[in-house]
Structures are given as structure tokens and as C-alpha cells.
Amino acid sequence: MKATKLIPFALAALALSAIGPVSAAPLTVSSYDMLNGNTGSYNYWDESYSGSGSKFVDGAPLSGGKGDLTDGIIAAANWFITEAPAGPGPYVGWTINPVIHFHFAGPVTINQITFSLDDANGAGGVSTPQSVVIGGTSHAIADPIGSAPFQFVVSNLNLNVSDLDIQFIRNNQWVFVSEVSFDGQAGDAPLPEPGILALLGMGMAGLALAKRR
């Protein structure tokens, strides 16, 4: 076999060896710790929180459990609709720049985080947060068109962690969060880099061309 015909096979083998077995899927948070939400026109507490702490007290330290931020319920309307007039709502709302400490059962590789946020365009002092700080790195959040709740997605993170700190930086008086979800893989093996995926594509294309010849 000529050397030129060996190149596609070499590219494919190199890419496959570099990737290894990888599967990206939703990651389960084992618990998160934070200060509870605050009270305004209504109560914006983490009322479904399962850990220790006073979940019906403004700013109370909560630890060792999970609640509204990881229950899979994403708010479809603004705070003044979903939180009114009484009873538990999907949002947790703060008048501080809240820090949330997320914990996983073991090492994970986080590739993507999705934040479900309210954007009431200043109604009641609620607006799009200025930014979110993920593990010490700040990510600016652009104010979307309109005033509907929205999802802000941060991708290509490739974070190998067992615990992760996330902080929201407010633009106005309040920040409202209904869900934080993580995608990646269990274990500490990194997800494939885009260059590796491109290399694999080149190798497979070369294999197909060589087979046709």
C-alpha cells in the first residue's frame, strides 16, 4: 500500500485514540449550599429545599440539600405571575449577588451549564443579571429582546471538578433564578476538543475515499 493511502488510516487512528470513550449527558447535582432568597412583594425563598437551614427565612444559610434550582421546573412566566399571590413559586430571588456552591457525587467533567433566568426589564427591580461567575471566570449575560424569562447557556467549559462555585452579579435590585442544569460526563476525563473532532472527520472522510478508490 502506498504511503499516501496510509494517511487517512493514520488520521482516523490518531483521532480515535485521542478521544477514547466519551458521552455527554445531563449531570446530577448531589447538593448545593447557599444563602436563601429574600422577601419583597412575595417570598422568593427556596421553599422546596431538602437540606438543613431555615428555608422560610430571608438569607438563611442552606446546606446539604437540593431544591428549586435543580428540580427540573423552569419558569415560563415572569416573577410577578408565577410567584403571585402566595405559595411556592419556581424562582429563587435575591437582593445580593448570590454565591451557590454546587456539589457532585464524584469527579465530573462539565461541558455546558444552562441558567434559567427572569428578565422583567426592571419591573419590581428585576432584570437580566450583568454576569455569572463560574469557578472564578466571569461570563457576561446579554440582555435579550423583550421581557420574557430566558435561558443563558455557557458551553465548551471542560471543567474537571467535584464541587463548583457559581455567583450571579446583579444589574438591578433583584436577580431571579428558576433552574441551573449541567451537561457533561461522570469522571474526570476531558471531553474531546473541537480540533480532535475535526481530525476524526478528516480521517473518516479519507477512509471513505480510499475505499472507493
- Whole-Å CA distances, 210 to 8, 58, 157, 203, 205: 8, 67, 36, 10, 9
209 band by pLDDT with thresholds 50, 70 and 90 = very low
Q: What is the pLDDT of residue 88?
A: 82
* DSSP state letters, 14-67: HHHHHH-S---EEEPP-EEEEE---BSSSB---TT--SBS-TTSTT-EEEEE--
Region of residue 121 (phi > 0: left; psi between -120 and 50: alpha; otherwise: beta)? left
Q: What is the pLDDT of residue 18?
A: 45
Q: Is 153 exposed, middle or buried (CB count within 10 Å of its CB: 0-12, 13-18, 19+)?
A: exposed
- Whole-Å CA distances, 159 to 94, 138, 185, 188, 198: 27, 14, 10, 9, 21
CA-wise closest residue to 184 among 81, 112, 97: 112
Predicted TM-score (pTM) above 0.85:
no
State what percent of residues in the chain have pLDDT above 70: 76
Q: Check pLDDT > 90 for residue 190.
A: no
Tens of pLDDT along 80-113? 999 977 668 999 999 999 999 999 999 999 999 9
Rounded CA gap, 157 and 113, in Å? 8
Q: What is the pLDDT of residue 189?
A: 55
Tens of pLDDT along 16-55? 444 444 557 999 999 999 999 999 999 999 999 999 999 9
Mean pLDDT across 133-159: 97
Q: Check pLDDT > 60 for residue 196.
A: no
Q: What is the mean pLDDT of the chain?
A: 85
